[in-house]
Amino acid sequence: MTTPLNAESAPASTTRSATPIILDSIGYAGMGVREQSPLLDGLNPQQKEAVEYRGQALLIIAGAGSGKTSVLTRRVASLLETRDAWPSQILAITFTNKAAAEMRERVHAILGQASDGMWISTFHSSCVRILRREADKIGLSSTFSIYDSADSRVTLKRIIKALDADTYGFTPGSAGAKISKLKNELADADSYARNANMSDPQEVMFVEIFRQYSARLRAASALDFDDLIGETVYLFRAFPKVAALYRRRFRHLLVDEYQDTNHAQYALVHELTRPVAAELAQEMEDDGVHVRNLRDATGAIPGASLTVVGDSDQSIYAFRGADTRNISGFERDYPGAKVILLEQNYRSTQNILSAANAVIGHNFDRTDKKLWSAGGDGEKIIGYTAYSGHDEAQFVSDEIQVLHSAGMAYRDMAVFYRTNAQTRALEEILVRSATPYRVVGGTKFYERAEIKDALAYLIAVANPVDELALRRILNTPKRGIGPATETGLSSFADDNGLTFRQAMRNSAALGLGPKVTGAILKLAELLDAAALMLVPTRVTGDGVPIGGSNVSEVLEFLLAGSGLLAVLRGSRDPQDEARAENIEELVAQTKDFNKENPDGGLVDFLTQVSLVAAADDLDDASGTVSLMTLHTAKGLEYEAVFLTGVEEGLLPHQMSANEPGGPAEERRLFYVGITRARQRLYLSLAMTRAQFGNINVAMPSRYLQEIPAELIDWKQSPGTANSHGGTQPRALNARREGGFGGFGNSLSGSGNGSTSGSNSAQAGLPPGKPKTEWANKITGTVRDNGALELTAGDRIRHHDFGEGRVNQVTGEGTKRIAHVQFDTAGAKKLLIKIAPIEKI
DNA sequence: TTAAGTTATCTTTTT
DNA sequence: GATAACTTAA
């Protein structure tokens, strides 16, 4: 190809400046001239510039809904169309496989076969691809295992137990978080130890944990998620010649969601875009690597061009080490970088955007950016305050039905929440109302125990030195190998310098019972036999071809040989039936994999499985409502969005309160949620929220106050919400007409919106604090029975359930719960503080 | 060694 | 309210 890098001094805009006016009138066909590529159809001037700019470094600040993905894909297409790049010279990096798949699809739609050879993938899968190829350089097996967080946890747990480190206050979680954080900063145990205060015994202990953790992973030829990035950076830094090959190959790097990159990812991008020094370039040429037409006047290969897209307002992964300074410092890191701002929003109505702007405006320390839309105000945001999480779910479900009967497809609606635990109530109600839905993420398929078991068999075959996988399957299904035998094998291996697998093969030397020894040997033989199946086809002495099996054949062999599936099928536990079905689903997936990747081996399958993310299996074509966390919602958009649980303690989440920058990050999360909506946005909250099986009072989120009152139409505002909840809230809440008096409540009469309901005139009920304004003034004060004392044996009257007898009172303070046997309504648990009850 | 039963702890968000 | 972690019985 010709010299694409000259473009630096001759940006496309100048070469093409002859036809700016025509560009603006595109759409009326006939523009066969190359310069008026249809790639620019329907783009605004900033977007066009972002597509066409040719230079060393480009930063696109893309507000929510500003057409970022479209710009990015068209930019890739444009690079090819103008012959500034070959497909193989492009590396586009996203955060999720889903985003990568979408981009690949869109690029393919524009270019067809021309997109072959391009790398469009996540940070993690790009790194795996590189690392598998170069594994031997850094002392890894090319079939290295990838440990997910659960695997890391198990490993850390064993280490902590062996070191008695829990006496120093270490848990697998705390140690893991700290190690992850350090790895994201590209530190290892040694570099950390150099700067640590080693007179602090806790620090000494941590360093030891870190060391052993690294050692175990190494011994198992395994990498955790953080290592995938870190080791790639290490590889490039330690082996300049290897790095040079990739720098030569990838001439155009595009990184999406740049605001969410952590230091390691930043460093990786930096390594990939560095120039190759003249001497090294010469060496490569001498080695027969084709680099001549890439070299500049000095003989060096200039750094690849870099395009990053981001929006610091949507940075929601600081907890994972994301550093927005990567984006704010971009112009410093890449001098001469071009910055393009995309502010026009093509997604949402102005009302939604105004709410979003107002909310995010409360974050200080940000460059002001105002999203605007030419699409009109649209509907108001709907607010709803429910009595309980269940009630809230019912509201969501009802509104979904309303939208659906008004013609909106289920797939255009989504329900968001802060924590995965919130799905339970939603699912319950959606099932009951026969609403088709799917939970995106959450307890993922591949995290199920039985799936991890089956995969562990495959991993043990692919990577025989992986002790973790072996120990997982050692007694799964049960074959009489207990923990004692397991540790025995492990220390036997350590003492004799063997791997766990070798120890298994030599287990006869341990002097265990014949039954146990037999079981161990049988497992070892099974795995060995499976490994042989994978060796490429060859012919035995008597002419029988063997080997060359694909993934599903090996998996089926292992399942049959181990009895894993048979045991589940024969079990009397009804849940095991579902487990067996899951394993069969896994088998089906391996068959699909074989079909889609005829050349793909076992390791490829395992890699794919290890790196699938929550949002990945999101199938837009399925006609279902999507349920997901706010985090997985990033990058997606829906006609209607239900943002649930907008409460203090949930959004912002309790845990964020103590973290520096926590509340601001939570606000961005809220902002991300709001900006996913195209037409309709619903904000809902509950006055009580169940967690850990008991019920807590919840207060409206502080962020609600930040939205101008006139943008929200409260079907039931936090102030006026009555407390008719429980099992029959529908008829009572009377929200459809927007009024609250349907049940003889005297709310409007008293003018204070207190939640005392129709019982307010009766004695024994302390009046709620009078409230004055409600519209959107969130005070969080709800009914307060305050000091109402109840003891077992008391008779009470409930507004909805009638009279009953208190059996028991549990909990303390505001969380006291009365267990009541109602005369007609049955047994209920009530939160005394807010329940519409009185003593009689 | 396993199965069954009991208790403690837990939850933020994810590649 | 679910799961991991622990106890006890067989």
| The nucleotide closest to A484 (CA, C1' atoms) | B1
Split at pLDDT 50, 70, 90, the class of A796 is: confident
CA–CA separation, A266 and A244 (whole Å): 18
8 Å CB contact between A528 and A502: no
Q: What is the spatial distance, in angstroms and rounded to an integer, between the CA atom of A601 and the C1' atom of B3?
A: 40
Interatomic distance A436 CA / B2 C1' (Å): 42
Average pLDDT over all residues of chain A: 79
- Residues A512 and A559 reside in one and the same domain: yes
Alpha helices in A259-418 (DSSP H): 263-272, 278-286, 325-328, 330-333, 350-360, 389-405
pLDDT per residue as tens digits for the range A204-247: 889 999 999 999 999 999 999 999 999 999 999 999 999 999 99
Same domain, A678 and A698: yes
Whether residues A471 and A559 share a domain: the answer is yes
| Distance in angstroms: CA A582, C1' B6 | 30
pLDDT (mean) for A797-818 = 73
Q: Pick out the nucleotide with least CA–C1' distance to A421.
A: B11
- Residues A12, A15, A21, CA angle at the centre, nearest 5°? 95
DSSP character for A770? P
In sign, the C-alpha dihedral spanning A462, A467, A472, A478 is positive
Q: Which of A46-55, A192-201, A591-600, A829-838 has the lowest mean pLDDT?
A: A829-838
Q: Is the CB of A598 under 7 A from strand C?
A: no
Q: How far is the CA of A50 from the C1' of C4 (A)?
A: 52
pLDDT in the model for residue A217 = 92
Residue with tokens 């068209």: A74
Quickly give A611 CA vs B12 C1' distance in Å.
Answer: 21
What pLDDT band is residue A443 in, cutting at 50, 70 and 90?
Answer: low
- Is the pLDDT score of A265 beyond 80? yes
Averaged over A532-543, what is the pLDDT?
74
Is residue A743 pLDDT above 80, yes or no? no
Please tell me the predicted confidence (pLDDT) of residue A247: 92
Q: What is the pLDDT of residue A837?
A: 74
Do A577 and A491 have their domain in common? Answer: yes
Closest CA to A688 of A389, A379, A259: A389
Task: Give the mean model confidence (pLDDT) for residues A513-535.
Answer: 87
Say what the pTM is: 0.79
The identity of residue A536, as a single letter, is P
**Can you name the residues that pair with A59 across neighbouring β-strands?**
A308, A339
Q: Determine if the peptide bond prior to A652 is cis (ω within 30°).
A: yes
In percent, the amount of chain A with pLDDT more than 90 equals 25
* pLDDT exceeds 60 at position A613: no
Q: Calculate mean pLDDT across residues A88-107.
A: 86
Orientation of helix A123-134 relative to helix A225-238, angle to 10°: 50
- Which residue's C-alpha is at the least distance from the C1' of B12? A419
**Domain membership flag for residue A779:** no
Question: What pLDDT is attached to residue A250?
Answer: 92
pLDDT surpasses 50 at A163: yes
**Strand C bases with any atom < 7 A from protein Cβ:** 1-2, 4-5
Which residues 411-440 of A interface with strand C at a CB distance below 7 A? Answer: 424
Residue A235 near residue A130, CB atoms below 8 Å: yes
- Last residue of some domain: A696, A722, A748? A722
Position A485 in a domain: yes
pLDDT at A201 over 60: yes
pLDDT at residue number A355: 92
Q: Give me A489's structure tokens.
A: 């094998």
Q: At which of A295, A316, A342 does a domain end?
A: A342
Domain count, chain A: 5
DSSP A277: P
CA/C1' separation A314–C4 (Å): 36
Q: Cβ of A514 < 7 Å from strand C?
A: no
Q: Is the same domain home to A460 and A510?
A: yes
- Asked if residue A396 is part of any domain, the answer here is yes
Instruction: Find tokens 């909805």 and name the residue.
Output: A800
The nt closest to A317 (CA vs C1′) is B13
Burial (Cβ within 10 Å: 0-12, 13-18, ≥19) of residue A687: buried
- Which nucleotide lies at the shortest CA–C1' distance from A691? C1
**How many CB atoms are located within 10 Å of the residue A297 CB?**
6
Nearest to A673 by CA among A697, A699, A648, A703: A703
pLDDT given for residue A21 in this prediction: 28
β-bridge pairing A712-716 and A413-417: unpaired
Residues spanned by the domain of A124 = 39-144+230-342
Q: Which nucleotide is nearest to A478 (CA to C1')?
A: B2
At residue A768, does pLDDT exceed 50?
Answer: no
Beta strand A545-546 pairing with A90-94:
unpaired
- Closest by Cα among A577, A525, A585, A596 to A555: A585
The pLDDT of residue A811: 65
Which pLDDT score is estimated for A323? 87
As a whole number of angstroms, the distance between CA A69 and CA A110 comes to: 13
**Of A182, A201, A220, which residue is a domain's last?**
A220
Whether A693 sits with its Cβ under 7 A from any strand C atom: the answer reads: yes
Q: Is the CB of A27 under 7 A from strand C?
A: no
CA gyration radius, chain A: 31
Residues A92 and A174 in one domain: no
Tell me the CATH number at A201.
1.10.10
Res A721 pLDDT > 60: no
Q: What is the DSSP string of A69-108?
A: HHHHHHHHHHHHHTTS--GGGEEEEESSHHHHHHHHHHHH
Residue A33 lies in a domain: no
Bridge partners of residue A775, in order along the sequence: none
pLDDT at A833: 66
Let me know if residue A766 belongs to a domain.
no
d(CA A732, CA A735): 8
What's the pLDDT band for A620 if we cut at 50, 70, 90? low
pLDDT digits (tens, 9 = 90+) for A468-510: 999 888 888 888 888 888 888 888 888 888 899 999 888 888 7
Q: Does the annotation list A595 as a binding residue? A: no
Are A667 and A694 members of one domain? yes
Residue at A395: amino acid letter: F
On whether the CB atoms of residues A148 and A609 are closer than 8 A, the answer is no
Task: State both tokens at A827.
Answer: 């047994």
Is the same domain home to A475 and A431?
Answer: no
Alpha-helix runs per DSSP H in A563-685: 564-570, 574-596, 602-611, 630-633, 662-674
Nearest to A798 by CA among A741, A746, A723, A734: A723
Contacts of residue A543, Cβ cutoff 8 Å, sequence gap at least 6: none
What's the CATH code of the domain at A69? 3.40.50.300
Please indicate if the annotation marks A69 as binding a ligand.
yes
Whether residues A138 and A283 share a domain: the answer is yes
Q: What is the pLDDT of residue A541?
A: 67
User: Alpha-carbon distance A685 to A648, whole Å?
Assistant: 10
Helix, strand, coil % over all residues of chain A, rounded to 5? 50, 15, 35
Residue nearest to nucleotide C1 (CA to C1'): A693
Q: Are A360 and A312 in contact (CB under 8 A)?
A: no
* A828 marked as part of a ligand binding site: no
Spanning CA of A321 to C1' of C4, the rounded length in angstroms is 29
Please check if A15 is assigned to a binding site: no
**A610 annotated as a binding-site residue:** no
Give distance CA A186 / C1' C4 (Å): 33
Residue A829 pLDDT: 67
pLDDT digits (tens, 9 = 90+) for A697-710: 888 888 988 999 88
Residues of A with catalytic annotation? 68-69, 256-257, 314, 676
**pLDDT digit string (tens) for A7-41?**
333 333 333 333 222 333 333 333 444 456 777 77
Residue A700 pLDDT: 87
Give the nucleotide at minimum CA-to-C1' distance from A424: C1
Q: Which of residues 125-164 of A touch strand C (CB under 7 A)?
A: 157
Give CA–CA dist A370/A360, Å, rounded: 10
Phi first, then psi, for residue A335 (nearest 5°) are -55, 140
Kindly tell me if the per-residue pLDDT of A728 is higher than 70.
Answer: no
Quick: pLDDT tens for A391-437.
Answer: 888 899 889 999 999 999 988 999 999 988 888 888 888 888 888 88
Tokens 């480009």, residue? A58
H/E stretch holding A764 reads: none
How distant, in Å, are the alpha carbons of A206, A412, A447, A580, A700 from that of A386? 46, 24, 33, 39, 11
Quote the pLDDT of residue A812.
64
Of the pLDDT bands very low, low, confident and very high (cuts 50, 70, 90), residue A741 is very low
pLDDT for the residue numbered A31: 41
Same domain, A179 and A323: no
Rounded distance in angstroms from the CA atom of residue A571 to the C1' atom of nucleotide C10: 20
Retrieve residue A421's tokens: 């635990």
**Quick one: pLDDT at residue A729?**
32
- Amino acid in the structure at residue A143: T
Higher pLDDT, A224 or A758: A224
Q: Are A220 and A145 in contact (CB under 8 A)?
A: yes
A154 and A112, same domain (yes or no): no
Cβ pair A236, A271 in contact under 8 A: yes
The tens digit of pLDDT for each residue in A111-135 reads 777 777 889 999 999 999 999 999 9
For residue A91, pLDDT beyond 70: yes
Confirm or deny that A62 is annotated as ligand binding: yes
A488 is an annotated ligand-binding site residue: no
A140, A243: one domain: yes
Residue A164 has pLDDT above 60, yes or no: yes
Query: In a 3-state reduction of DSSP, which class is residue A369?
Result: coil
Q: Which nucleotides of B are covered by protein (CB under 7 A)?
A: 1-3, 9-15
Using the structure block, give the residue that is written with the tokens 């798949």: A101
Q: Which range is least confidently modeled, A329-333, A594-598, A665-669, A769-773?
A: A769-773
Give yes or no for a contact between A231 and A223, defined as CB atoms under 8 angstroms apart: yes
Residue A597 forms part of a structural domain = no
pLDDT digits 0-9 by tens, A659-714:
777 888 999 999 999 999 999 999 999 888 887 767 778 888 889 889 998 888 88
SS3 A217: helix
C-alpha neighbours within 13 Å on the C-beta side of residue A687? 29
Beta bridge partner(s), residue A538: A546
Torsion from C-alpha of A518, A524, A526, A528, nearest 10 degrees? -150
Q: What is the pLDDT of residue A643?
A: 94
Average pLDDT estimate for A62-83: 88
In this complex, the nucleotide whose C1' atom is nearest to the CA atom of residue A481 is B1
Residue A746, pLDDT above cutoff 90: no
Residue A588 located in a structural domain: no
Tokens for A582, please give them.
């899951």
Confidence of residue A834 (pLDDT cuts 50, 70, 90): low
Asked whether residue A358 is marked as a ligand-binding residue, the answer is: no
Residue A161's H or E segment, with its range, is: helix A149-163
Residue A729 maps to a domain: no
Q: What is the pLDDT of residue A544?
A: 67
- Torsion sign over Cα A128, A129, A134, A136: positive
Residue A382, phi then psi, degrees to nearest 5: -100, 130
**Distance between CA atoms of residues A829 and A696, nearest Å:** 12
Per-residue pLDDT tens for A275-293? 988 888 888 888 888 877 8
Answer whether any strand C atom is within 7 A of the Cβ of A28: no
